[in-house]
């Protein structure tokens, strides 16, 4: 998985997970993003 730098605003956001998913989708242009904690 790629290392992504997030701004303080993103880290403090209540919807942090959604923000991350949106960033991943926007950058990689994928339809489904699965987060695997073990990866």
Instruction: Provide DSSP, 1-39.
Output: -------HHHHH-TTHHHHHHHHHHHHH--S-----TT-
What is the domain count for the chain? 1
Question: pLDDT class for 22, splitting at 50, 70, 90?
Answer: confident
Segments forming the whole domain that contains residue 29: 1-39
pTM: 0.32
- Please check the confidence at residue 10 and state whether its pLDDT lies above 60: no
């Amino acid at each position: 998985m790629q290392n992504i730098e997030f701004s303080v605003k993103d880290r403090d956001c209540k919807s942090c997970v959604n923000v991350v998913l949106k960033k991943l989708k926007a950058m990689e242009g994928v339809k489904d993003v699965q987060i695997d904690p073990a990866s």
